[in-house]
Amino acid sequence: MSVAWFSNLLELHAGPHTISVLAMCLRAFIIFFVSLGLLRLVGTRAFGSNTPFDVVIKIILGAVLSRAIVAASPFFGTLLASTVLVVLHRVLALAAYHSDFVGRLIKGEPRVLAQGGQLFHDQLRKTDLSEKDLHEGLRDAANIDSLAETDVVRLERNGQITVVLRKSPVGPPTSPPKGYTTYPKDVDPGEQPKAPRPAAFH
């Protein structure tokens, strides 16, 4: 199999208006498996997260690889550029793992929207959230609709609202109802108590 035959098969010198349907199908077949390999390299976490750091790689990678299918960009140049993007994403993810500063820089920080039942309106303005959006997040995250039931409400780095519920106070142990007899753990309730023996007289 010569390089010239492979080049003619994929029509590597064709443009978006001259490439044939067969060549686009063959390119799509190759791009599919290349994409799988790049996904394994970047990790499944990136495609299950909605942080800006991960959204960027998803959008750019899809846009760049699609150009190789329709011959809008050089085929092998596009594959190389996609690999550079994935490697860069991987390197920055490792740097964020080892450095909190890098993590804050490329992923941002969570914001506290409410604490102890008190709503922070300045944080809502900074995050472009309304009170209706907040209550929608409460219902979705914790199945509640009142801030009084929450301890802390945060907007996480992936854009999700998370809720820490307020702990209910633990009261003193209640006494058993009147007429209810308690037994030690090692005594069977069904066993009849033995009558005390009378004292012996000498």
- Tens of each residue's pLDDT in the chain, 202 residues: 577 877 888 888 888 888 999 999 999 999 999 988 888 887 766 666 777 788 888 888 889 999 999 999 999 999 999 999 999 988 998 898 899 998 888 888 899 999 988 999 999 999 899 999 999 999 998 898 889 899 999 999 888 899 999 886 555 555 555 555 555 555 555 555 555 555 554 4
Other Cβ atoms within 10 Å of 72 Cβ, number = 12
How does strand 161-165 pair with strand 111-115?
A: unpaired
Q: How close are the terminal C-alpha atoms of the chain, in Å? A: 118
Q: What is the C-alpha to C-alpha distance for residues 127 and 137, in angstroms, rounded to an integer?
A: 14
How does strand 118-119 pair with strand 161-165?
A: unpaired
Q: CB under 8 Å to 61, separation ≥6 — which residues?
A: 35, 38, 82, 85, 86
**pTM for the whole thing?**
0.65
Q: What is the C-alpha to C-alpha distance for residues 155 and 114, in angstroms, rounded to an integer?
A: 10
**What does the CA dihedral 140, 143, 148, 149 come to, rounded to 10 degrees?**
-120
Q: What is the C-alpha to C-alpha distance for residues 98 and 102, in angstroms, rounded to an integer?
A: 8
